[in-house]
Amino acid sequence: MSETTENKQQEVTEQTNEEVTNNTENEQNEEQTELTVEEQLNLKIAELETKLQEEENRFLRLRADFDNMRRRNQLDREASEKYRAQKLLTDLLPVLDNLERALQVEVSSDDAVSLYKGIEMVYKTFIEAAKQEGLEVIPAEGEAFDPTVHQAVMQENDSEKESGIVIRELQKGYKLKDRVLRPSMVSVNE
């Protein structure tokens, strides 16, 4: 029996060693699993932080685009308000030219004088209304030629004046505030 007892003790010792080994391996596997889970969580956190950063950048870009669009719309509204009369005044410039031509005619009869005074009143009223909207006459005669506001259609030679000076204005030019509606047609000294 003693051999049997020794065998049994040896078996129990071997089983105990195996169990200890198995327990140690299980503990190591659990630690590895825990590390793997921890690493997975860290990776997930890093991924979420990256996504958050991308969304924050996207949000900032969208906000900047929105602010730019709002600023452009505000500038467009201001320009629209500032130049609201541009189309109307541009269309009425030929009427203004015709009124000025009518006022250049000399009249002698009483009926013609009455008609002349009526045209003169309409012209003055028209000019005042246009000035209130910001219409300005572009100065031309005697001024230095400026291609941004003058359109040279002729050249003349006048020895009394400097080169590049406007000698005659053939058609008046007009500006609406700071925008040229129609350049002055001029004759320039050579």
Q: Give the predicted TM-score (pTM) of the model.
A: 0.62
| Mean per-residue pLDDT pooled into runs of 10, the chain (190 residues) | 64 63 59 72 92 95 96 91 87 93 89 91 94 92 92 88 89 92 92
The predicted pLDDT at position 11 comes to: 67
Which pair of tokens denotes residue 85? 């009369």
Helices within 83-109 (DSSP H only)? 86-104
Q: How far apart are CA 91 and CA 95, in angstroms?
A: 8
Q: Given this model, what pLDDT does residue 85 score?
A: 85
Q: Return the pLDDT at 5.
A: 66
Q: What local confidence, expressed as pLDDT, does residue 162 receive?
A: 86
pLDDT for 84 equals 85
pLDDT at res. 121: 95
The tokens for 170 are: 């053939």
Main-chain dihedrals φ then ψ at residue 142, nearest 5 degrees: 85, -5
